[in-house]
Amino acid sequence: MNKQRHLVVISGPSGTGKDTVAQRLIQLHPEIEVSVSATSRAPRPGEQEGVNYYYMTRENFEEKIAAGEILEYTEYCGNYYGTPKSEVDRRIERGITVILVIEVDGAANMRRLYPDCNTIFVRPPSYDELERRLRSRGTEDEASIRRRLSRAVEEMEYAVDYSSVVVNDTVDQCAEEIYQLICEGLK
C-alpha cells in the first residue's frame, strides 16, 4: 500500500469552515488524525497550544524553516503558517491517516513532496456566506476581513489543482463527504 495515500490535504479560503469540518471528521472517525500546524500569529480566544496550533515567535518559526523542520509554510495576513515535518511523517510511517488543513500555496508544496497524497478543496456555499462566516467570528478588523475576502477570490481559482472539491454547506455533510473521499483514496 502507498503510505502517501494516508496524507490528506484540505484547503480552501479562510472562513470556509475547514478546521471545523476536520474536527468533526475526527470526532466521527477517531482513527483519523489532524496535523497541528505552527503559526506566528497570536492565539485567538479559546485556542490552545498544541491543539489548535503550535504558537511561536516569528524568529523561532524562521529558525525551524532554516533547519528543515517545516514541510510547507506561507505568510498570510502578516503571519507565518506551516506544517511541522514531524507531525506528518510519524503518522504516515505508522499507517495513520493524517489530515493537513493548509493554505493553497502549502498544498502545492505538499503535492510536490508527497505526490500521491489526497488533496481536497473546500468551497463555501457562496461568497455572501463566506463573508458572513468571517464577520461572525468577531476576531478581526474590517481591513483583515477585506484582505481575507480578496484572497478567497484568488484561492478559489486553485480548486482545479485538487483531487476533489467539496462544498461546506453543513459541517456534518461536508465531513462525511470528505470521509468517503478518504476511504476511496485508500483503496
Q: Which domain holds residue 162?
A: 3-186
Give mean pLDDT in consecutive 10-residue pieces for the chain, a chain of 187 residues.
82 92 95 92 93 94 96 88 90 92 88 92 94 86 90 94 96 96 85
Structure confidence at residue 74 (pLDDT): 84
Structure confidence at residue 22 (pLDDT): 94
Structure confidence at residue 105 (pLDDT): 84
Q: What is the CATH number of the domain that holds 16?
A: 3.40.50.300
Question: Whole-angstrom Cα distance, residue 34 to residue 25?
Answer: 9
Structure confidence at residue 148 (pLDDT): 87
Radius of gyration of the chain (CA): 16
Structure confidence at residue 144 (pLDDT): 87
How many domains does the chain divide into?
Answer: 1
